[in-house]
């Protein structure tokens, strides 16, 4: 618990905010920050943030929104996102966002996970934007040419991954801090479920319709590609993320090559097995 | 349809303008996915649609997952049984083919449903593949009666499982009627599909009994073990 207790000090150190650091406020912040993350303190919506993605989807029942924050929480968070490029995923950005929307500084306590809520909100809202880009702006729509070949699932996956990575462009320099915070042991489950939700959305939007064990392997490989590309992106200084794009292209090709090899090997074993069984049967064995 | 979306819009808490992009799914999503069947809705059904709650969505999700796994297992069981049964009893070839074809049709129905509704397939997929092939092969080796007893046990469990699902959806329908609403077309189709598939599975059960499944040796332990295995597999597939 050492780190959360330091948060108020960090806020005090920040010259921009120092005038707001009255003793009461930092005491309150210290108290709330040092109380262990108790489930009872969190609103129900936050406790059950997890598997909204796994439910039955239907055109007759609207999709659930990509996150479960309440209105005032979303207001603060979306205003805070504007301050992320300058202040990073910190309490400062949250406080500034709360102020912009006319909330008191202390209303940052509406977000029990603090900065991590800001990160989760960033991820979830960008995921929503990606969905909207495909469904409303026709990101993946093919050109009007008569002979246009529809893009394969891999190509669409690559396009979507790059689209999502480009959304991180403005906050690229802050993203390593966010990744560090996301890899805190207590934050890992939520980070992973958000990553799964993203890869699941990407594959769905790319038109993947696998209904067997490859459902799992495909999601795993897209998650791995996306997560590693994110790390590359934080150090990518090439114009328009060209280096990251090249990286993603290579990884997608790799995963396709591995998948092809595996399915080829499986097919070969299947043929050999059925040949052996057929041979045995033709010899009159009761198998 | 239009009034329904408007109603839904009203019932949602007003969101700030900035967040419009966060809920892209309510209105335009519908148009994007609109199929000819849903385009015909406004004339045919003025009644408001029944909105599924979270628990019901969860039920449908696990039901579709179990059904897909079950049909997968059924096709593999028949695939593994057919050569041995047909070798000693060639007159059963049309029957085995008929049952297999029906199961393959069911499997493709559920595969489509799973992809359409974005339901996660069971994580035990490879395990069920191996288990079903082994079950089919071993009962096939034990002879025609054992193979038929296996069919009888499996179809009994599956049939009663479909029956429970039909009963659940019917209870939603009754609930919807009491509120003056009705189920959407997809659910109605699904209900009809479940009923048809249940009847076909029970038909397989009758075929199995006609073909001396009761004379399998040892009948009781064999059938009980297979039924217990089916129930366990259903319970596991509902969750993972």
Question: Are residue B71 and residue B183 in the same domain, yes or no?
Answer: yes
Question: Are residue B98 and residue B192 in the same domain, yes or no?
Answer: yes
- Window 144-173 of B: residues touching A by CB (8 A cutoff) are none
Question: Are residue A226 and residue A187 in the same domain, yes or no?
Answer: yes
Contact B55/A at CB under 8 A: no
Residue B49: inside a domain, yes or no? Answer: no
Question: Are residue B20 and residue B90 in the same domain, yes or no?
Answer: no
Question: Are residue B31 and residue B60 in the same domain, yes or no?
Answer: no
Query: Is B201 annotated as belonging to a binding site?
Result: yes
| ipTM (interface predicted TM) | 0.74
CB under 8 Å to B230, separation ≥6 — which residues? B153, B154, B157, B158
Percent of chain A with pLDDT over 70: 77
Query: Which residue of A lies nearest to B108 if distances are taken between CA atoms?
Result: A211
Question: Are residue B20 and residue B115 in the same domain, yes or no?
Answer: no
How many structural domains compose chain B? 2
The string of pLDDT tens digits covering residues A238-263 is: 888 899 999 999 999 999 999 999 99
Question: Are residue A277 and residue A209 in the same domain, yes or no?
Answer: yes
Residue A27: inside a domain, yes or no? Answer: no
Question: Are residue A118 and residue A9 in the same domain, yes or no?
Answer: yes
Residue B39: inside a domain, yes or no? Answer: yes
Residue B105: inside a domain, yes or no? Answer: yes
Which residue range is the domain that position B39 belongs to?
A: 2-44
Question: Are residue B104 and residue B66 in the same domain, yes or no?
Answer: yes
d(CA B126, CA A266): 13
Cβ–Cβ under 8 Å, residues A142 and A79? no
Which residue range is the domain that position A86 belongs to?
A: 1-18+64-122
d(CA A1, CA A4): 6
Contact B141/A at CB under 8 A: yes
Question: Are residue A253 and residue A174 in the same domain, yes or no?
Answer: yes
How many structural domains compose chain A? 2
CB atoms within 10 A of CB B26: 14
Contact B189/A at CB under 8 A: no
Residue A39: inside a domain, yes or no? Answer: no
Question: Are residue A94 and residue A218 in the same domain, yes or no?
Answer: no
Considering CB atoms only, which of B24, B25, B61 is closest to A56?
Answer: B61
The string of pLDDT tens digits covering residues A114-151 is: 889 999 999 999 999 998 888 887 777 765 555 566 78
The string of pLDDT tens digits covering residues A60-82 is: 777 667 777 888 888 899 999 99
Question: Are residue B70 and residue B158 in the same domain, yes or no?
Answer: yes
How far apart are the CA of A23 and the nearest CA of chain B, in angstroms? 33
Question: Are residue B36 and residue B97 in the same domain, yes or no?
Answer: no
Closest CA relative to residue B95, chosen from B204, B209, B223 = B204
Residue B69: inside a domain, yes or no? Answer: yes
Query: Is B203 annotated as belonging to a binding site?
Result: no
Residue A42: inside a domain, yes or no? Answer: no
């Amino acid at each position: 618990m050492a780190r959360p207790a330091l948060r108020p000090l960090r806020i005090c150190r920040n010259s921009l905010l120092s005038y707001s650091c009255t003793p009461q406020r930092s005491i309150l912040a210290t108290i709330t920050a040092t109380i262990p993350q108790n489930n009872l303190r969190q609103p129900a919506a936050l406790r059950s943030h997890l598997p909204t993605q796994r439910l039955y989807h239907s055109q007759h029942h609207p999709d659930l929104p990509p996150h479960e924050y309440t209105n005032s929480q979303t207001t603060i968070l979306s205003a805070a996102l504007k301050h992320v490029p300058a202040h990073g995923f910190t309490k400062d950005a949250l406080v500034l966002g709360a102020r912009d929307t006319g909330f008191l500084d202390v209303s940052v306590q509406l977000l029990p996970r603090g900065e991590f809520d800001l990160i989760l909100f960033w991820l979830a809202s960008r995921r929503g934007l990606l969905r909207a880009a495909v469904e409303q702006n026709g990101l993946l729509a093919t050109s009007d040419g008569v002979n246009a070949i529809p893009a394969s699932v891999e190509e669409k996956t690559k396009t979507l991954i790059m689209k999502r990575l480009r959304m991180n462009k403005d906050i690229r320099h802050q993203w390593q801090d966010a990744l560090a915070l996301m890899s805190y042991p207590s934050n890992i489950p939520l980070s992973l479920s958000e990553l799964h939700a993203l890869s699941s959305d990407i594959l769905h939007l790319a038109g993947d319709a696998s209904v067997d064990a490859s459902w799992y392997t495909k999601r795993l490989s897209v998650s791995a590609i996306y997560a590693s590309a994110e790390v590359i992106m934080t150090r990518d200084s090439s114009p328009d993320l060209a280096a990251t794009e090249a990286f993603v292209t290579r990884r997608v090709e790799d995963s396709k090559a591995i998948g092809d090899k595996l399915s080829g090997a499986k097919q070969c074993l299947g043929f050999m097995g059925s040949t052996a069984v057929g041979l045995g049967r033709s010899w009159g064995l009761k198998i | 349809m239009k009034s329904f979306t408007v109603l839904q819009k009203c019932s949602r808490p007003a969101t700030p303008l900035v967040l419009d992009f966060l809920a892209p799914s309510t209105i335009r999503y519908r148009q994007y996915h609109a199929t000819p069947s849903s385009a015909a809705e406004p004339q045919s059904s003025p009644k408001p649609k029944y909105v599924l709650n979270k628990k019901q969505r969860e039920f449908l999700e696990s039901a579709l997952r179990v059904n897909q796994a079950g049909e997968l297992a059924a096709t593999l069981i028949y695939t593994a049984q057919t050569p041995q049964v047909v070798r000693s009893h060639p007159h059963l070839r049309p029957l085995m083919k008929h049952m297999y074809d029906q199961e393959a049709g069911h499997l493709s129905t559920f595969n489509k449903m799973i992809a359409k509704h974005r339901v996660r397939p069971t994580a035990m997929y490879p395990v069920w593949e191996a288990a079903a092939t082994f079950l089919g092969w071993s009962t096939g080796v034990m002879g025609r009666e054992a193979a038929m007893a296996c069919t009888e046990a499996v179809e009994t469990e599956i049939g009663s499982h479909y029956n429970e699902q039909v009963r659940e959806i019917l209870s939603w329908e009754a609930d919807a009627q009491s509120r003056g609403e009705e189920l959407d077309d997809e659910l109605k189709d699904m209900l009809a599909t479940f009923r048809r598939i249940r009847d076909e599975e029970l038909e397989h059960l009758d075929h199995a009994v006609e073909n001396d499944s009761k004379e399998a040796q040892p009948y009781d332990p064999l059938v009980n073990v297979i039924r217990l295995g089916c129930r366990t597999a259903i319970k596991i597939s509902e969750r993972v």
